Structure 1
Amino acid sequence: MSETPGIILARYAVSQRTAPLPSDVLEKVRVHLLDSLAAIVSGSALSARTAGRNYAELRGGNLEATVIGASRRFPVVEAALANGMCAHADESDDSHESSQTHPGCGVVPSALAVAEYVQASGEDLLKAVELGYEVTIRFGEALSPCMSFARSSLSCHAFAPLFGAGFAAGSLLGFNETQFLVLLNYLAQEASGLMTWRLDQAHTLKSYVFAGMPSSNGVRCAMMVKAGWTGAGDVLGTDRNFFDSISPHQQLMLNVSDLGTYHKILETDLKKYSVGFPIAAPLAALEDILDRTKVPADQIGEVRITYLSDWFKVIGDASKMPDLNLRHCVSATIVEGHLSFAMSHDESHMLDPQIVAAGEKVIFEDAPPDQDRFEAVVRVILTDGSTHIARQSREVLGRIQNPMTRSQSDAKALELLKTVLSEKSSYALINTIHSLEEAHTLDSLLNILRELKKH
């Protein structure tokens, strides 16, 4: 059989399981695993968690894997689904621009569930997560030209993490090259996801599309292969292959040329703000002005935001979710001086008279043709007529061009974790992840994640 992309990927997945991770990659994996777990924990207090947990409770079944905050365990597929629903519930999870994916929310719930199921070590979990990111991002980069960047109805955010979640699960299950090729066939059959998540008003559908669906379907496909299901051929390299089915008129191809020599997780961004990505640049620009001027809210007459009009279709007034509504996030920042997690996730704040009044001062303006599509220009006009201006490019804190330090990423994780866990448990989880490769079991980590309330 010739060296088709699927064969190369399957062979790499086998070798990656025993190869040491470079030190910079290992550190990056730890940071993103912590970031994703913090997102799952904080998301477990929101409505998407209720949907996932209720489904898991309804299904019942074998006690195989932990659901965050639950006292009992659930079947591995249901655990991946329930934790996946939490992982993207509050927009605090990581992202990767060129692949148009949120890798962590799809990969980590899958890896965590299967790692517990097979009683994996900390190193096993870290390597599975790294493989999941690698596969997610490479599939996303292959698919995004005909999906997100082509304004397709298909959602790259769902398609790509499915493959990453499946490969992370397959790695932990000890798959050989043939099993990974069979897994690719079943993942290709499961691949789906529509952009209709943009219509969601409670983050349940969006959480399912971005995380719950790809994570649980990836685990299910891996468990099917583990049970002996067969499927011949490389679905990525044959005639009428997976990519042909998605876009028959484009030559889509999975890039496998630098597998093992370059690690895509190094390109993955962290979020400073727990909001939809397009909101970050206007917020950073506004915070810059407020930090410089120390101007109180009652002295602000107008806030004019010049931004690409396409962004307003995603984060404009039609969005009823606070973390995806630019006007609300800006208004809350005007009133409070910064955007707290509570302000961006408690819907009741959208009705706060003070915030509503501040929102009436916010004016959206379409960017001129020469303004970069990711740049936001914010003008704060005070009641005395003076104007303060700030520009923010895409390189907000947390982007790979402007990375967080470990202390900054730890601080972000701590804020999220403490919304649900005790301070002691929050610090314990952070410390556990920073030395996870030394852990022979995941017992300590899982015991922390089962804690439900602050103490």
Structure 2
Amino acid sequence: MPSSISDSLAGYICSVRAADLPEEVTRKAGLCAIDYLAAAWNAHGVELSTAYTDYAASMAGKTIGAAHVIGDGQLPPIWAAFANAAKGHVTETDDGHRQSIMHIGVVVMPVVLALAQERGLSGAEMLEAMICGYDLAIRAGECFGPEHYATFHTTGTAGTFGAAAAAAKCCKLTHEQTVWALGHAGTQAAGVWQFLQDGAVRAKPFHPAKAVQNGMQAALLAEAGIAGATRIFEGDKGICAFAAPKPRFEALTDRLGEHFKISEVNFKAYPTCGQTHSMLDATAAIMERESITAADVKSVEANVYQRAIDIAGIAEPVNLEQAKFSNQFCLAFLLTRGALTFANFTEDVVEDAAVRELSHRVSLKFDAEMDAGFPASRPCRIVVRCKDGRVLSQENRFRKGDPENPMSAEDMQEKLEQLTGSLLSPSQRQNIVSWALDLEHRAAVEPFLFTICDS
């Protein structure tokens, strides 16, 4: 009989075997690997990404490490993972999960890749660590709930548990050590939303980067024999006592080992905050159905849930990072340009006077009915008032890339091409896809995951 929630979770982590995983779970993990690598490579050369990588290199000193930073040399594993987590989050193209309200690949994949290089892990072992990391991150986020997300960035908090679980599996920790690792993770879990209110969007990638670093440190502390809290979730002074007003402890163990949370992951169809996507989908549906453009539009009203306003309601973005967190700007861009893609939403968009002018005619309105559907879905109702008097509307609940409206392997390959087309060759992209979709049978990581190849 498990003595604590962490005891149950540790038993699960230690028991996961690649050979026992359902085929559809293994397939989804491969798509998650493609998605993470596409996001990280997309950030290569971006000034903000370079800043995080340079910081990691400065902290590592002159040490030449055993793990690659994607596109940028080698560092000690814990600093390579830090840099790769930041890279994967810089351009807002990484995967997510609705109910836990977080990004997962960016707190799991950097850990797995770094430790796989240091410890010579096989593809099957990497797959096992991915499954454990995704499961623990999502389950922790679901436990913490939307009340937690109101103040905390769940990617940073719950993500620390995902990183710790992945690291524990990579390090082959014992059951007891895995319990300790989860305790150490909870002690370090952090990340609050104040940076958004203060216009410091560039700080957002620091949250997954620190989650990755803290999760790895948690596992390494446990490996070193340093005991950690054994009731980190439910204890009187555990993480839920201060960070989760309405903890859902059952979410941590419900169908544990039977239902794999990675199957619920969604992929982004746009390079913007996930709290803009449902609104973009609904607006695009109106545009296609009614054949309208910005020239036809008098005003747009987006009836949305509260978090869409809180997280993605920046009315006057001053740079690309802020524009990605502005429903007003994103909807105006879509209407003005006809499409919002990974290729056309670039730094210069904030200087587009036509987009800026139309964004002033886009309003966000809290809708209690929409709010009641969050976070199980991302509901919205878009109302477009046209200059000719027409009033056009469209409701939407599930975004392109959600499990209910999934992106296929072909869609993911196209996303990889859009995000890396100017950087990686077709053959390198194909190598990445083949490696990810056959991860269980691969012997190890490959150079083409981290360095630009000529062919």
TM-score higher than 0.5 here? Answer: yes
Tell me by how many angstroms 1:368 deviates. 4.6
Tell me by how many angstroms 1:421 deviates. 2.2
RMSD: 2.5
1: CA distance between counterparts of 2:243 and 2:309?
Answer: 28
Contact 1:303 1:379 in 2 (8 A): yes
For the residue of structure 2 that corresponds to 1:147, the secondary structure is helix
When residues 131 and 419 of structure 1 are mapped into structure 2, their CA distance, relative to the original with a 3 A threshold, is farther
For the residue of structure 2 that corresponds to 1:437, the secondary structure is helix
For the residue of structure 2 that corresponds to 1:270, the secondary structure is coil
Which residues of 2 match residues 162-173 of structure 1 at below 5 A?
162-173=160-171
Corresponding residue number in structure 2 for 1:235: 231
When residues 353 and 217 of structure 1 are mapped into structure 2, their CA distance, relative to the original with a 3 A threshold, is same
Contact 1:38 1:413 in 2 (8 A): yes
Which residues of 2 match residues 73-222 of structure 1 at below 5 A?
73-144=74-145, 146-148=147-149, 151=150, 153-199=151-197, 201=199, 203-209=201-207, 211-222=208-219
1:397-449 deviation digits (Å, cap 9, x = unpaired)? 11112222222222222212325323332232122212222211212xx3342
Instruction: Kindly provide the amino acid, as one letter, of the partner of residue 434 in structure 2.
Output: N
1: CA distance between counterparts of 2:152 and 2:356?
Answer: 35
Tell me by how many angstroms 1:29 deviates. 0.8
Does 2:40 align with 1:43? Answer: no
After the TM superposition, which of the residue ranges 194-203 and 50-59 deviates more from structure 2?
194-203
State the TM-score, normalizing by the size of structure 2: 0.89
Corresponding residue number in structure 2 for 1:398: 401
Tell me by how many angstroms 1:73 deviates. 0.8
After the TM superposition, which of the residue ranges 291-300 and 281-290 deviates more from structure 2?
291-300
2: CA distance between counterparts of 1:108 and 1:415?
Answer: 21
Of 416, 431, 436, 2:434 maps to: 431
Tell me by how many angstroms 1:394 deviates. 2.4
Contact 2:94 2:106 in 1 (8 A): yes
For the residue of structure 1 that corresponds to 2:393, the secondary structure is strand
Aligned length: 443
For the residue of structure 1 that corresponds to 2:91, the secondary structure is coil
For the residue of structure 2 that corresponds to 1:324, the secondary structure is coil
After the TM superposition, which of the residue ranges 429-438 and 386-395 deviates more from structure 2?
386-395
For the residue of structure 1 that corresponds to 2:7, the secondary structure is helix
State the TM-score, normalizing by the size of structure 1: 0.89
For the residue of structure 2 that corresponds to 1:330, the secondary structure is helix
Of 375, 379, 382, 1:378 maps to: 382
Tell me by how many angstroms 1:133 deviates. 0.3
Of 249, 257, 261, 2:258 maps to: 261
Tell me by how many angstroms 1:13 deviates. 1.0
Which residues of 2 match residues 270-419 of structure 1 at below 5 A?
270-308=267-305, 310-316=307-313, 317=315, 319-320=317-318, 321-346=322-347, 348-360=348-360, 362-371=361-370, 374-383=378-387, 385-387=388-390, 389-419=392-422
2: CA distance between counterparts of 1:335 and 1:239?
Answer: 53
Tell me by how many angstroms 1:247 deviates. 5.3
2: CA distance between counterparts of 1:438 and 1:24?
Answer: 15
Contact 1:327 1:359 in 2 (8 A): yes
Instruction: Kindly provide the amino acid, as one letter, of the partner of residue 363 in structure 1.
Output: V
For the residue of structure 2 that corresponds to 1:305, the secondary structure is strand
1: CA distance between counterparts of 2:228 and 2:164?
Answer: 17
For the residue of structure 2 that corresponds to 1:303, the secondary structure is strand
When residues 8 and 377 of structure 1 are mapped into structure 2, their CA distance, relative to the original with a 3 A threshold, is closer
Instruction: Kindly provide the amino acid, as one letter, of the partner of residue 185 in structure 1.
Output: G
